[in-house]
Structure 1
Amino acid sequence: MFETLKAAWQVPELKKKLLYTAFIILLFRLGSSIPVPYIDIAQLSTYFDSMSGTALGLMNVFSGGGLSRATIFAMSVTPYINASIIIQLLTVAIPALERMVREEGEEGQKKISAITRYLGVALGLLQGYSYYVLLRSNNLIAQTDFWHGFVIVLTFTAGTALIMYMGEQISKNGVGNGISILLFAGIVSRGPAMASTLVELVRDGGVSYFVAALTIIVALAIVVFVVFISDAERRIPIQYAKRVVGRKMYGGQSTHLPIKVNASGVMPIIFAASIMSLPSTIKMMTNVKAGGVASFIFNLFETTNPFYIIVYIALIFMFSYFYAAIQFNPIEIANNLKKNGGFIPGFRPGRPTSDFISKALGKVTFLGAIFLSIVAGVPLVVGALNSSLNNVALGGTSVLIVVGVALETVRQLESQLMMRNYKGFLE
């Protein structure tokens, strides 16, 4: 990875992209440090210390600590991610949106992106208002009249819109996927805080040295495991038939169709975590009385509850298959192979080939979903068994997202380096 960054830095065009990306990340971190007015930050920080290990604490990790400081970027990328989930599901369910993407090409994609942005701002407004209600109900705001509340909610919403704009600028002029890069920056910024939490637990006797060392070893093992699985793939052999054109013979070569074990990357984790944060958002908007039915339902969605872990893993499986279905179309692949004279040894062209690819894709996707579930679910189980490790346990999902985004960004840099260093056939 460091060799790739070093090589990219020596290419002037890529150097500009890297500097631009770093500049946007710097602006993002500055915005994540500017608090919204009229809020008691000291009491808010104390309140979030008591919320560590909950779904609200997980949302705070994704925002880079912005929620606990009530900054202008406190909503982070969550509204945009939720909007993307909704639009992608609607694209599959609504034929008009599907035709817009398939038939109109780039123009249709621009329209979908615009709809996603508008929906993201609307969800940012809703989430900002719910957060304001939470602050008001816990007496964390000095002035609770309409105008003060209007300024607070509007600031949160404007921060959401600005984050979406910054993410799009990184995707357009920088390196990597902009929204993923900002999410990466927010999570990495919480790394020192998580490390200091573990050190304080050891110092205070809340966690033994053995458990602390085991936690670090597990974190390193997760990183190695993520890198290994991210490069793993199932290769389906493909043979091209020989054909004679004039006096020359074409075809006859062998190749393969690669199906990555974790083709969807970290997106199922991000989407599942965003959906599981919705109950916490609703809870912030309501005054829930302890001991009632509503309190019982909301407690089911705490990260230490077995129900939360089961639903979380089920969503990871669902989004893994959803992304695999979007990225691979076995019927289209089989038709292209047939047109080009290719076939999979042992299977007839056409329907048998598409059926075989579908079965292989289903098995590989299942393994990828199990991998994501283990990496994201095991730390939550550890946090549920040992309450003192709640905050550290949230690092499992964070590590997966950080490593996944880093690998994807490095791959993009490598592809751009290869494109610029390709010598061609004439040299």
Structure 2
Amino acid sequence: MKKLIESIKNVFAIEDLRTRILNTLFFIAIYRLGSFVVLPGIDPTRLKTGASGVLGILDTLLGGAFSHASIFALGIMPYISASIVLQLLTIAVPYFQKLQKEGESGRNKISQYTRILTIPIVAAQSVGFIATINAEAIMNPGVFFTVSTALIVTAGTLFCMWLGEKITDKGIGNGISMLIMIGIVSRLPGALIGEATARSMRGSLIFLIEMAVLFVVVMAVIILTQAVRQIPVQYAKQVGGAASLSSQRQYIPMKVNAAGVMPIIFAQSLMFVPAIAASAWNKDSEAATMIGTWFQPNHAVYNVVFGLLIVVFTYFYTAISVNPNQIADDLKRSGGFIPGVKPGRDTSEFIDEVLTRITLPGAVALAIIAILPAIATVAGVTGPFAQFYGGTSLIIMVGVVLDTMNQVKSYLLMRQYDSMMKTGKTRGRSQNISMAS
């Protein structure tokens, strides 16, 4: 406890870090406040108490803004969809491939295209969102309500996008991911209280077992997120004039889960399609009813298809994010080589083989974590609390928390180096020089 208090003091002792933390909290407070501002023309007392099925998963990611019919009803999710489209375009379209290789300027152009693409996506999704609102809650339905609501929801998403960029620039960083994580975490206290209340009637032992299992799952997600396969790299001895540098051994860290949460997001986006199509189809149709039943989060068909898609997308996203040929070329130019492997093509094939082997267990583990909420629901855990046993929610939370901790540590490390330059070694060296003279 004493070390924790000391660490908090060190964090707030750094002026720049303290300012960034306060800015982040300020932007998050604005985001959460907007999540409770109901759209004009809607009676909040007649809204549905909560979304279910695939829309329930979306509502969890948005912190309840979807079911509250707020001005941030779609949150940052259309921007995520636009980012996915742009990432796919960097594979298929040569122009975007060229932009990706141009460094900072190319990334800025891709970000600008992503912002522009977000507008038509959120405009289209806002019309679908209006269709999900309870008809009794709309006080004056009609064309004017549809157009005005679509404009407000679009403006709300653009404002959320602006908040995310401000958190990245003026705050701790990872603004877009931070907003999603805050939305997820905001549902945790209510889900925890609801589960504790439900279990209090049967006994507290079951609730304690559930918390222990949740702890184990969180630890497993952390291990999966941090696990790496280190490939040894040897750098040849370099001789230049009188100076001589001995050979050095370093490592290339290949992450077991190099794709992160993106395969789940890709797969989740596709799994929304059958359920939404079935709801828009003729509801009296037997085929629509069957599809709508199969593609619900707790159905076996949904989870089998969902798991297979995650495995496929894990390999796909790893292939586009990690380039063995480029790694081999960079090693060759810098004078490095993998012991026992020839530079060039053999090195590329070796890295590709290692990447293929470690991606399989990572993909399977990611798929298992993604379907754990359905397993928890079958085991008797309440729906809201079961969402925290895995899936997108848990992986996003763990990833964002770990990234934030790493950024805070980098600030603390920088402060430590600054203090060493101002005191200690620098002063001692000057004293030794003065004594010698």
TM-score (norm 2): 0.87
Residue aligning to 2:433: none
- How much does 1:371 deviate? 2.4
Which one of the candidate residues 37, 40, 43 is aligned to 2:40?
Answer: 37
C-alpha distance in 2 between matches for 1:175 and 1:370: 32
C-alpha distance in 2 between matches for 1:292 and 1:6: 63
- How much does 1:129 deviate? 0.9
- What amino acid is the match of 1:83? A
Residue aligning to 2:214: 219
Residue aligning to 1:229: 224
Residues 221 and 334 of structure 1: CA distance in aligned 2, closer, same or farther (over 3 Å): same
Residue aligning to 1:167: 164
Residue aligning to 1:153: 150
C-alpha distance in 1 between matches for 2:123 and 2:297: 25
C-alpha distance in 2 between matches for 1:332 and 1:259: 14
Task: Look up the SS of the partner of 1:19 in the other structure.
Answer: helix
The answer to whether the 8 A contact 1:61-1:190 is kept is yes
- What amino acid is the match of 2:352? S
Residues 4 and 263 of structure 1: CA distance in aligned 2, closer, same or farther (over 3 Å): farther
The answer to whether the 8 A contact 2:188-2:385 is kept is no
- How much does 1:260 deviate? 2.0
Residue aligning to 2:382: 389
- How much does 1:386 deviate? 4.7
Residue aligning to 2:69: 70
Residue aligning to 2:16: 13
Larger radius of gyration, structure 1 or 2?
Answer: 2
Alignment of 1:373-384 (within 5 A): 373-383=367-377
The answer to whether the 8 A contact 1:236-1:257 is kept is yes
Which one of the candidate residues 357, 362, 373 is aligned to 1:363?
Answer: 357
- How much does 1:72 deviate? 0.8
Q: Which moved more, 1:190-199 or 1:264-273?
A: 264-273
Alignment of 1:178-257 (within 5 A): 178-203=175-200, 209-257=204-252
Residues 14 and 408 of structure 1: CA distance in aligned 2, closer, same or farther (over 3 Å): same
Task: Look up the SS of the partner of 2:229 in the other structure.
Answer: strand
Structure 1 stretches lacking a partner, 5+ long: none
Task: Look up the SS of the partner of 1:71 in the other structure.
Answer: coil
The answer to whether the 8 A contact 1:31-1:71 is kept is yes
Alignment of 1:308-387 (within 5 A): 308-383=302-377, 385-386=378-379
1:85 aligns with 2:79: no
- What amino acid is the match of 2:288? A
Which one of the candidate residues 19, 23, 27 is aligned to 1:24?
Answer: 27
Task: Look up the SS of the partner of 1:257 in the other structure.
Answer: strand
Residue aligning to 2:256: 261
Residue aligning to 1:109: 107
- How much does 1:288 deviate? 4.2
Q: Which moved more, 1:287-296 or 1:249-258?
A: 287-296
Task: Look up the SS of the partner of 1:321 in the other structure.
Answer: helix
- What amino acid is the match of 1:62? L
C-alpha distance in 2 between matches for 1:83 and 1:108: 17
The answer to whether the 8 A contact 1:77-1:179 is kept is yes
Number of residue pairs aligned between Structure 1 and Structure 2: 417
Task: Look up the SS of the partner of 2:298 in the other structure.
Answer: coil
Which one of the candidate residues 286, 298, 307 is aligned to 1:304?
Answer: 298
The answer to whether the 8 A contact 1:4-1:410 is kept is no
Task: Look up the SS of the partner of 2:136 in the other structure.
Answer: coil
Residues 81-102 of structure 1, C-alpha deviation per residue, up to 9 Å, x if partnerless? 1111111011111111111221
Residues 243 and 386 of structure 1: CA distance in aligned 2, closer, same or farther (over 3 Å): closer
- How much does 1:132 deviate? 0.8
Residues 29-80 of structure 1, C-alpha deviation per residue, up to 9 Å, x if partnerless? 000011112223233233x2xx44x111111101101112111111122111
C-alpha distance in 1 between matches for 2:225 and 2:379: 30
- How much does 1:236 deviate? 0.9
Task: Look up the SS of the partner of 1:238 in the other structure.
Answer: strand
- How much does 1:282 deviate? 4.9
Q: Which moved more, 1:269-278 or 1:211-220?
A: 269-278
Q: CA RMSD in A?
A: 2.5
Higher relative contact order (CA 8 A, sep 6+): 1
C-alpha distance in 2 between matches for 1:282 and 1:35: 27
Residues 188-213 of structure 1, C-alpha deviation per residue, up to 9 Å, x if partnerless? 100112112213322466xx655433
Task: Look up the SS of the partner of 1:394 in the other structure.
Answer: helix
- What amino acid is the match of 1:245? G
C-alpha distance in 2 between matches for 1:369 and 1:130: 32
Residues 213 and 184 of structure 1: CA distance in aligned 2, closer, same or farther (over 3 Å): same
User: Taking every aligned residue pair, what percent have the same amino acid on both sides?
Assistant: 38
Task: Look up the SS of the partner of 1:239 in the other structure.
Answer: strand
C-alpha distance in 1 between matches for 2:188 and 2:265: 18
Residues 338 and 5 of structure 1: CA distance in aligned 2, closer, same or farther (over 3 Å): farther
- How much does 1:329 deviate? 1.8
TM-score (norm 1): 0.89
- What amino acid is the match of 1:313? G
- What amino acid is the match of 2:358? V
- How much does 1:247 deviate? 3.7
C-alpha distance in 1 between matches for 2:113 and 2:367: 31
Task: Look up the SS of the partner of 2:231 in the other structure.
Answer: strand
Residue aligning to 2:133: 135
Residues 264 and 180 of structure 1: CA distance in aligned 2, closer, same or farther (over 3 Å): same
- What amino acid is the match of 1:176? G
Q: Which moved more, 1:30-39 or 1:113-122?
A: 113-122
